[in-house]
Structure 1
Amino acid sequence: MRFTTAIVAAILQLAAAIANPTNVEKRASCTLTSFSDLASVKSSCTTITVGNLAVPAGQTLDFSGLISGTKIIFTGTVTFGYVEWEGPLVTVGGSKITITGSPGHLFNGNGASWWDGLGGNGGKIKPKFFAARLTDSTVTGLNIKNTPRNCFSVNKCTNLTIDSVIFDNRDGDVTNGGHNTDAFNVGSSTGITINNATVYNQDDCLAVNSGENIVFSNNYCSGGHGVSIGSVGGRTDNIVKNVTISDTSIVNSDNGVRIKTVYNATGSVSDITYSGITLLNIAKYGIVIQQDYENGSPTGTPTAGVPITGLTLKSVKGTVASSGTNIYILCASCSNFSWSGVSVTGGKKSTKCQGVPSGVSC
């Protein structure tokens, strides 16, 4: 059999592809500035630069299913059209993904189009912003402004680091403005590290609903509901274990340190550490631990189905407004608490504490 030069070249190319199949799927760097190019770019490029980009109403900037090792670099302004829907506006999924924001870039969530003061409790249907489904990945330096409601939903992630994110929802600090604008919701995830974030919002700066081996450090939280474990209970996964929250400032917020478990639910909260926490001008509770939580209307009667064990507070200091309460503990099953260097002043002393563990003052 005789082989032409073209046939020989084709055979050699096929052999090379079989020997190194990643060369088939991994192509040159791409720049994304048109939403219509999203599908082809994410399926074929391992370095994606996102410039100025308009995401149509009711559509997700969908970077799920990325090629392992993909890098996404945001350089321009990403905007989102308005329609009532659940979202998310952005989703990213894959393994060994690196997401970076370059100086001058911005995600503008157009939140004012949705805000009505009700968040997820009624009114307009508002999209969540950023759904992460990542393994062995990093998110660094993103600038996010005016999300309709929750910002980062970290769900079913493993070994994810989020660093130096700025989340600015201060425009929502108006009547009928932003609500349920949680910065970081963590669920069913392990090995999550969130460092050096700057957050201005109207709900929890951090809310760990379930997961383990979570670190939240060197962060600044302003205007929201505090740095929270919970609410825990009433979901498919209701276990929170081994969480460290350190060297963080919580200012001009409703609450400071907060643990909330759901009334009449089951689950567990264990091995939680708050250390090096600075509180300033907290409106309601400097430290609040409650086992009676229901959305918007705690019952006042704690239940023991989600026990809280192994809580360490070390060097938690600061001030509460005179109309607020320094410390409030409402427990049915709280044990093995260790507090040292806790000094929260300026507010009232609670007369409603129950089930306070030994060694702790309420």
Structure 2
Amino acid sequence: AIRFFMSSNVRVEGIRIKDSPQFHFRFDNCKNVHIESIHITAPALSPNTDGIHIENTNNVQIYNSVISNGDDCVSIGSGCYDVDIRNVTCGPSHGISIGSLGNHNSRACASNITVRDSVIKNSDNGVRIKTWQGGSGAVSGVTFENIHMDNVRNPIIIDQFYCLSKDCSNRTSAVYVSDIRYSEIRGTYDVRSPPMHLACSDSIPCTNITVSAVELLPAEGDVVADAFCWNAYGELQTLTIPPLFCLQQGNPRSMLENDVGYC
């Protein structure tokens, strides 16, 4: 619907957009972007209707907005840093996502991103980091804090095996995911999937994941599903619901300094 390209000191406020055929707002190669009090609606089954997409854009604030659509409420692409998302009501949707990153063996970097004081409801995902096999670069310095989940299928998800077909092969290179913090995330999840899903690269593990005050209960029934981890390392600062015993403590011994594609 609306695209900003190579723009600085942009302010978008008080706008309502409905049923864009693709992204509702897109910001490419921009800096100093302030988005506040916007309202976006699209059908829950409409593909590629991201609410706000940013790429190669820095110093972004997204505040006090309501988004419901058929894809990500907010999607953060490569080259983004210093992003603050606060008081956003998201859903139905695919949640708030960093990525997808590293497609077609590309180098991708994203850092210093905060999502806080928000609500995600009736969505496929909650807060998500998604990367393709074969990419390089890094995602680091990410905080998800004080977020309420209401009937979300995957409330907390890192997916380093993101693929849109069934024939994606495993690769030895990957975007390095590190310094990710989850704090005060509470609510209910759809019982079809694990409420916490940390699937990290076989060759380059996720490191320094810190988790505290996470309480996720099934929206239906009484059985709490197990969390899932694969090659994920960090620190469990409090007990969680469900228990996150699969998060490995400390740092992996196998990862060498030259394995990691820093940004």
Q: Do both proteins adopt the same fold according to a TM-score greater than 0.5, normalized to the shorter chain?
A: yes
| Structure 1 residue 233 displacement after superposition | 1.2
Distance 1:198 1:131 in 2: 19
Aligned to 1:148, the other structure's residue is in SS state: coil
Letter in 1 for 2:99: G
Q: 1:168 and 2:41 equivalent?
A: yes
Distance 1:205 1:298 in 2: 28
**Structure 1: 4+ residue segments shifted above 3 A:** 296-304
Partner of 2:4: 132
Which of 165, 179, 182 matches 2:50? Answer: 182
Distance 1:280 1:234 in 2: 31
Question: Which structure's residues are more often helix, by fraction?
Answer: 1
Aligned to 1:219, the other structure's residue is in SS state: strand
| Structure 1 residue 257 displacement after superposition | 1.4
Single out whichever of 341-350 and 261-270 deviates more from structure 2.
341-350
Q: 1:357 and 2:227 equivalent?
A: no
Q: 1:154 and 2:23 equivalent?
A: no
Which of 128, 131, 142 matches 1:258? Answer: 128
Single out whichever of 250-259 and 315-324 deviates more from structure 2.
315-324
Partner of 1:295: 164
Partner of 1:241: 111
Which of 109, 129, 137 matches 1:267? Answer: 137
| Structure 1 residue 322 displacement after superposition | 2.2
Structure exhibiting the larger radius of gyration computed from Cα positions: 1
Q: 1:336 and 2:208 equivalent?
A: yes
Distance 2:166 2:20 in 1: 25
Distance 2:206 2:190 in 1: 27
Task: Answer whether contact 2:103 2:133 (CA < 8 A) is retained.
Answer: no
Give a deviation string over 1:229-288, Cα, whole Å, max 9, x none: 1111137661101001111100000011111111111121010001111100013x1211
Partner of 1:193: 61
Task: Answer whether contact 2:209 2:232 (CA < 8 A) is retained.
Answer: no
- Please list every run of 5 or more consecutive structure 1 residues that lacks an aligned counterpart in the other structure: 1-128
Task: Answer whether contact 2:108 2:135 (CA < 8 A) is retained.
Answer: no
Across the aligned residues of Structure 1 and Structure 2, the Cα RMSD in angstroms comes to 2.0
- Please list every run of 5 or more consecutive structure 2 residues that lacks an aligned counterpart in the other structure: 219-223, 237-243, 247-263
TM-score, normalised with respect to structure 2:
0.80
| Structure 1 residue 292 displacement after superposition | 1.0
Partner of 1:345: 217
Give a deviation string over 1:324-352, Cα, whole Å, max 9, x none: 3211111122111111111222162255x
Question: Which structure's residues are more often strand, by fraction?
Answer: 2
Q: 1:324 and 2:193 equivalent?
A: yes
Aligned to 1:230, the other structure's residue is in SS state: strand
| Structure 1 residue 137 displacement after superposition | 2.0
Number of paired residues? Answer: 227
Distance 2:25 2:142 in 1: 22
Structure 1 residues 139, 151: CA separation in 2 closer, same or farther (over 3 Å shift)? same
TM-score, normalised with respect to structure 1:
0.59
Distance 1:189 1:222 in 2: 24
Q: Greater relative contact order (Cα 8 A, min sep 6): structure 1 or 2?
A: 2
Partner of 2:92: 223
Aligned to 1:182, the other structure's residue is in SS state: coil
Task: Answer whether contact 1:291 1:304 (CA < 8 A) is retained.
Answer: no
Task: Answer whether contact 2:95 2:125 (CA < 8 A) is retained.
Answer: yes
Distance 1:318 1:232 in 2: 28
Distance 1:201 1:298 in 2: 28
